[in-house]
Amino acid sequence: MVELLRRETGVRGHPENESFAEESTPPSCKCPGRTTTSSSDQYASQFRVLGQREALAPCGGDHLETHVVGPGVVVLADAICDRGRIAPGDDRINEAVASASLDVLIAKAESAQVLRVIGEPEIQAGVLAGQRGQLDPEAVGVDLEPLVIGVGKGEHILASDPTAIMKHTKKVIYLEDYDMAVITGDKAQIHNLKDKKRPTQKAELLDYDNEQAVLGDFPNFMLKEIFEAPATIRSAILGRALADRNLIKLGGLESVLGQLKYIDRIVIVACGTSYYAGLVGEYLIEELAGIPVEVQLASEFKYRDEPFSRSTALLAISQSGETADTIAALKKVENYGVLRLGIVNSVGSTIARMTDAGVYCHAGPEQAVASTKAFLAQVTVLTLIALHLNDGQTKRFKPLLEELDDLPAKAQEVLDNADEIKRIAEKYANYRDFLYIGRNNAYPSAMEGALKLKECSYLHAEAYAAGEMKHGPLAMIDKDFPTFVIVTDSPLLEKTYSNIQEIRARGGPVVALATKGNTAIKELCDDVIYMPATPLETQPILHAIVTQLFAYYIAMSRGYDVDRPRNLAKSVTVE
């Protein structure tokens, strides 16, 4: 049985080759033998729709008529079928695949965005998989998608990454560029069209924890993943932040340590939440390691023509490791001779394979579309990298290493306050607009907080550096425009108090996120959410848990599907 699921994650071949768990997206209908049509634009969102429908009507009368697949999946069935050489069910299909020339298949791909699943109940499907970035889409005529085949009991499942499969099977075969898979009944045979002598790939076992695929007592994955914050931080530092030995060990960077010594500029590229993690990283790396950092949206970076010296490193941050724009950014500098680094969560993904070295997040599978725990892991890893690059020179080295050890307990403290955050969030659930402000590294925290609210609650939320209030945002403030102010311990605390006063003077409601013990703030604001004290460098990690919960409870109170917000996809694999 062939099942088509959408991509979620995957990193393979990454230098720090430790296995770790990943996630799944809900499966599409298992009913066999439907014609599929697809345009790449539909790809990401349609798969989610399939998942939702399946949840309502699993393989019953209301089975799905269409499966939407990435264009890379298109080719083989059509090519073979159209040539009429092999009838469905004919054993010679394997032979035909092996002898099919890439040209023929590509020609077919141009004209047909269709995967025809041949024959029932013995389904035969051909798959051409490619790793985007290594194939030239113009030459190929389609944008090839990475694919993985899940080997189940009497069935095969096609997905664009293993997390979508983990619920069904842990046995997977990763397809490489120019691989062709023929799936017939309970067999999957792989041929490489370029290297016909290449030995057949073996199925690999995913190292997933079954717990990670299920909700347990949680009502949805978003809340479950937010509540995994302490474990996420712990797992990101495990074996890496060795406070007792005053040491940071990042196995994934060891092979490039020599090169790192000559790096005098880092350009971080990322999208969405990962971009905001990058902005926090900018503060960390510049202030702890003294290396200038520039953070760019991958979608912008790829179209810019900027000077790039070989002493610049490009650092891609991605939860899924499959985001098209981030991949394109890495591809852009392919021939520049620069070091390409990655911070990636998903084992086996394209970005991990494309980078020269990198550090895994070890956050485990993230299933809710809005990223939560992955952000915490990314910022934790960025802290480790910043300290590592500093090579123990800063006096912040030891205190921060010790703080990282204490952080999971502090994250738990934030979570223990979830009922209070819920109470406050519900009070604000009926506003239409929100402003988030912060200074210094609380500014990216504000941006990420606003993004979470947009993604889950469909509310207008924007973020500003608090110092910019007078340059525009103050004009928006009135009683219907609340502000979420991040006002945790910092040398700039007093300045943010002034911002709060300006907002209140214009009738704007204010929710503050402050450090425990700050009683003065109560007088200034309508509502205060407290978090434990932690040094400036690690505050964004705790900020994020609060803003995630705040957005979550507003979305729940408005009755939205927090795991699958409308119009959004977990991995954006098309431009």
Grouping H, G, I as helix, E, B as strand and the rest as coil, residue 100 is: coil
| CB-nearer residue toward ligand G6P: 346 or 539 | 346
By beta-carbon proximity to ligand G6P, the closer residue of 390 and 571 is: 571
The Cα-based distances of 241 to 250, 352, 381, 401 in angstroms read 9, 22, 10, 6
Contact 459, 554 (CB under 8 A): yes
Which residues contact ligand G6P by CB under 6 A?
271-274, 318-320, 323, 326, 369-371, 568, 570-572
Q: Give the Cα separation of 173 and 169 in Å (integer).
A: 11
Kindly state the smallest distance separating residue 446's Cβ from ligand G6P, in Å.
Answer: 16
CB nearer to ligand G6P: give 54 or 455.
455
Measured from the CB of residue 326, what is the shortest distance to ligand G6P in angstroms?
5
Nearest approach, Cβ of residue 301 and ligand G6P (Å): 13
Q: How many CB atoms lie within 10 A of CB 433?
A: 15
Omega into 365 within 30° of 0, i.e. cis? no
**287 DSSP assignment:** I
Alpha-carbon distance values, 254 to 132, 240, 305, 306, 340 (Å): 27, 12, 31, 29, 14
Q: Least distance in Å: CB of 320 to ligand G6P?
A: 3
Q: Which is nearer to ligand G6P, 81 or 541 (CB)?
A: 541
User: Measured from the CB of residue 369, what is the shortest distance to ligand G6P in angstroms?
Assistant: 5
- To the nearest whole angstrom, how small is the minimum distance from the Cβ of residue 568 to ligand G6P? 5
Pairing of strands 483-487, 510-515: parallel
Neighbours of 56 (CB within 10 A): 8
- For ligand G6P, the closer of residues 341 and 512 by Cβ is 341
Least separation in angstroms between residue 26's CB and ligand G6P is 16
Q: Are strands 527-531 and 2-5 parallel, antiparallel or unpaired?
A: unpaired
Comparison of 270 and 514: residue with beta carbon closer to ligand G6P: 270
Which residue number, 48 or 410, has a Cβ lying nearer to ligand G6P?
48
Whose Cβ is closer to ligand G6P: residue 439's or residue 570's? 570
Task: Measure the CA angle with vertex 101, ends 97 and 104; round to 5°.
Answer: 105
Quick one: three-class SS letters along 128-157?
Answer: EECCECCECHHHHCCCCCCCEEEECCCCEE
Q: Which is closer to ligand G6P, CB of 335 or CB of 567?
A: 567
Verify cis geometry, omega within 30 degrees of 0, for the bond prior to 408. Answer: no
Beta strands in 354-473 (DSSP E): 357-360, 433-438, 460-465
Count CB neighbours of 332 within 10 A.
18
* 517 neighbors 493 (Cβ within 8 angstroms): no
- When CB distances to ligand G6P are compared, the closest residue is 272
Tokens 């991990």: give the residue: 352
In this complex, which beta carbon is closest to ligand G6P, that of residue 273 or of residue 380? 273
Provide, rounded to whole angstroms, the least separation between the CB of residue 22 and ligand G6P.
12
Give me the DSSP letters along 243-261: GGGTEE--GGGGGGHHHHT
Closest distance of CB 572 from ligand G6P, Å = 5
CB of 49 to ligand G6P, least distance (A): 16
